[in-house]
Structure 1
Amino acid sequence: MLLPNGTFYHPTCASSQTSPVLITADTAIPLGGKGSTTNINIPGYISSARVWYASEDVLKFYIVWNPATNSPTMVIPSAADPSDASADVNWGFVELSYTGSGLFANVSYVDFVGLIMGIRLEEKAPVNGTGVQMAQGLQTNAIKSICDGLTKQTGIDGLEWEKLCLADSKGNLLRVLSPSLYISDQPTAFENLWTSYNDKVWKQYQSQVLTIDSQSTNGNIACQVQQSDGLLHCAGSSTTYARPTANEIFGCNEGPFAISAGANDIHKAIVPRLCAAFHRSTLLSSGGNVQPSLPASSYYADQASNWYSKFVHQFEGDGRGYAFAYDDVAPNGGADVSGSVSTGNPGTLRIFVGGSG
């Protein structure tokens, strides 16, 4: 954790600490008012880090001994647990890695939409172009707009979309949970979202070939459903693919989308592209027999779609920001909707809190 004085703080606890204990060190870095800038220098390299922001209150972090790793483990705020100490706080984060290879950051809504923010990365002495990359983040009133869209979608298909919207203790809209986070507590939610769509996909690709463009030296991978076992078989893959459930699609890391230690590179290429195609409902679209190949304008055209992701992108200032795990999948030359910025020559990373307009 980074302290206000610009040094790293490493919270710890004894091996006897089996219940989470509040970290009381002052790790909050106060920000100024609207239009102000707070400068922060990172004193060393960090990997898989988060820059957390909260409005009108500080977030509460805890530490507990983890016998599985034989080391202290930090307990972070939960966006979904109503009993969490920070449940009534408006907060969010930017994901960040800064190593000897450079800097990577992204705006992520994979788990939830909370405090609105965007990012701008400026290279040090850029060689080509302006040396500036940006993900604007969500618009100022995006949470209400997203929830209006989700409520309307519930009226159309009767599914739990409107329940993704959470209010604070005063009844004000506070955040929007992703379907995958909501399902972690409500496992039967959305279970029939892709049932009919899956039937059509499996029927179509019994007689047609689904081509996965690996976008690597592995080239195009031919896939087809075999009637003998009802599984999708892909040439050269270390595994076969069963029809995914809604839970597996939303998470992209279980069932046919699990990547085991022994998985080969072809399977590793198929998983993100196939899972993204289900989220965006492009498998039955014209040209959808090649994944990825379609432009972002063709995403979410079927009722069997991740409507949370659809509305998140709709109300982003530039349409960029991860709304599910493999939202960085794009056709060659296509628009990057993931909201990530990176460079091997980092200068300044600017994080804007409050929205893009």
Structure 2
Amino acid sequence: MLALRKSLVALVAAAAVGTGLTAVGPVSHAEAAVPTTIPLELKNNSGRGDQVYVYVIGTLLSTGQQGWADANGTFHAWPAGGNPPTPAPDASIAGPANGQTKTIRMPKFSGRVYFSYGQKLVFKLTTGGLVQPAVQNPSDPNANILFNWTEYTLNDAGLWINSTQVDMFSAPYAVGVKTAAGTVKTTGHLKPGGYTAFFNSLRSQSGGWAGLIRTRSDGTILRALAPGHGIEAGALPSTVMNDYINRVWTKYASSTLTVTPFADQPGTKYFGRVSGNVMNFTNSSGAVVTSFQKPDSDSVFGCYKLLDAPNDLVRGPISRTLCAGYNRSTLLTNPNQPDSGSGSFYQDAVTNHYSKKIHEQMADGKAYGFAFDDVGAHESLVNDGNPQTAYITLDPFS
């Protein structure tokens, strides 16, 4: 699975591509004042009576150890795992009841905050570390549990926390951060009725998209799989994006695709042309800097395989831009990428309808509908260099 979303970690390690953000630089004295833990306020507005369980897991940035944090923010390293995997320690924290708020502490992790309704999640340990839930696997022990997660990085430079739909759209929630000035920045809230509207829209979308929806035997909607996971699970045709990919390949066999991957470096441009089964990119001197084979639908949805995006300064930034263009279906309408305005996104009949429908239902229009939805700053992410409090709000299922 995509696990921790690729570009959240990259955000604090390298330049954020196409977002207008730049690399996190040397830590100033003020930034170094970020404490070892900060408050995380959990508010339950879900309207559900189920017991909520919360898990704070990740990598402790001061040591590189993997583990979990208790409600006080104290770090606990995972014990050694086995093969077959062995049960992990119970890392659950009892969450707030409906209508209530609970504050815990979050440590300097690069990790996730999971929350589940009604049942505890099952985590196991292998010799390689923690096995996290695989939503696309029907035999996963968490397959019939209603749950979701947010991703965050808290380090000496501040807090980055996002809502994500890269793997699935499920239990609705929003995230936020309070600044030193007392301002609260939030993202991830759906429009009123947005949860139901998303599933109704996906269910009515022709072409197999309704197959992404997973329900429990009692009728509870659990989630919609992201399209890449849907292909893996056999729920969505593996050829679903082929027509668009083929048209892109035809267009740029006789014209040039210009990629300007860094918002703060408008002079850095790469030029793509298709020759046979390969799209070659040259720099301003005419030298080929990287090449891509014709991608398949899964490569497009996952921004990997034939659209692999290493954390470098050439291939990765180009690939992320291509990935965004394919998912948003803007490569045919604009030969200069990334496309800056969301009004032109998802207009082709062949597009990432899953991501399109998520963005349509977001109160601020922002989401992580695919791994590099941050290209052009369309992501559901909040950040602050001196965070006072982090927030996760469990929203209504309406």
Task: Say yes or no: does 1:57 pair with 2:119.
Answer: yes
Picking from 283, 291, 296, the partner of 2:337 is 291
Change (3 A) 1:207 1:222: farther
Picking from 140, 143, 148, the partner of 1:87 is 143
Matched residue, 2:85:
20
Matches within 5 A, 1:171-320: 171-186=219-234, 189-215=236-262, 216-217=264-265, 219-227=267-275, 229-236=276-283, 238-255=289-306, 257-259=307-309, 265-285=313-333, 288-320=334-366
Q: 2:83·2:126 contact (CA, 8 Å) conserved in 1?
A: yes
Change (3 A) 1:106 1:209: same
Matched residue, 1:333:
none
Change (3 A) 1:103 1:123: same
Matched residue, 2:203:
151
Offset of 1:300 from its aligned partner? 0.5
Q: 1:94·1:108 contact (CA, 8 Å) conserved in 2?
A: yes
Q: Could you list the runs of 5+ residues in structure 1 that have no partner in the other structure?
A: 67-72, 331-335
Task: Say yes or no: does 1:30 pair with 2:97.
Answer: no
Matched residue, 1:10:
77
Offset of 1:163 from its aligned partner? 0.7
Structure-1 separation of matches of 2:310 and 2:337: 22
Task: Say yes or no: does 1:123 pair with 2:179.
Answer: yes
Cα shift readout 1:27-73 (whole Å, capped 9, x = no counterpart): 2222223332111123x4212x101111122112112223xxxxxx1
In structure 1, give the amino acid aligned to 2:296: T
Structure-2 separation of matches of 1:356 and 1:183: 26
Matched residue, 1:46:
109
Structure-1 separation of matches of 2:140 and 2:241: 32
Q: 2:215·2:221 contact (CA, 8 Å) conserved in 1?
A: yes
Q: 1:111·1:181 contact (CA, 8 Å) conserved in 2?
A: yes
Structure-1 separation of matches of 2:293 and 2:74: 49
Q: 2:213·2:221 contact (CA, 8 Å) conserved in 1?
A: yes
Offset of 1:90 from its aligned partner? 0.9
Q: 1:135·1:340 contact (CA, 8 Å) conserved in 2?
A: yes
Q: 1:116·1:138 contact (CA, 8 Å) conserved in 2?
A: yes
Other structure's SS at 2:103 match: coil
Matched residue, 2:385:
344
Other structure's SS at 2:185 match: strand
Q: Which has the higher contact order (CA 8 A, sep 6+)?
A: 2
Structure-1 separation of matches of 2:378 and 2:274: 33
Q: Could you list the runs of 5+ residues in structure 2 that have no partner in the other structure?
A: 1-67
Structure-2 separation of matches of 1:270 and 1:249: 13
Other structure's SS at 2:175 match: strand
TM-score (norm 2): 0.76
- Count of residue correspondences: 326
Change (3 A) 1:241 1:340: same
In structure 2, give the amino acid aligned to 1:89: I
* Structure 1 stretch displaced more, 109-118 or 264-273: 264-273
Cα shift readout 1:115-144 (whole Å, capped 9, x = no counterpart): 1110111112x3xxx743210333575443
Structure-1 separation of matches of 2:382 and 2:397: 17
Structure-1 separation of matches of 2:123 and 2:157: 30
Change (3 A) 1:179 1:2: same
Offset of 1:306 from its aligned partner? 0.2
Change (3 A) 1:162 1:3: same
Change (3 A) 1:356 1:82: closer
In structure 2, give the amino acid aligned to 1:205: Y
Offset of 1:226 from its aligned partner? 4.3
In structure 1, give the amino acid aligned to 2:381: S
Picking from 187, 190, 194, the partner of 1:135 is 187
Other structure's SS at 2:122 match: coil
Change (3 A) 1:168 1:142: farther
Other structure's SS at 1:9 match: strand
In structure 2, give the amino acid aligned to 1:185: A
Cα shift readout 1:255-274 (whole Å, capped 9, x = no counterpart): 1x22458xx62322211111
Structure-1 separation of matches of 2:363 and 2:265: 35
Q: 1:281·1:304 contact (CA, 8 Å) conserved in 2?
A: yes
Offset of 1:200 from its aligned partner? 2.4
Change (3 A) 1:224 1:45: closer
Structure-1 separation of matches of 2:141 and 2:293: 40
What is the RMSD computed on CA atoms of the aligned residues? Answer: 2.3
Q: 1:13·1:63 contact (CA, 8 Å) conserved in 2?
A: yes
Change (3 A) 1:40 1:230: same
Q: 1:206·1:224 contact (CA, 8 Å) conserved in 2?
A: no
Change (3 A) 1:46 1:203: same
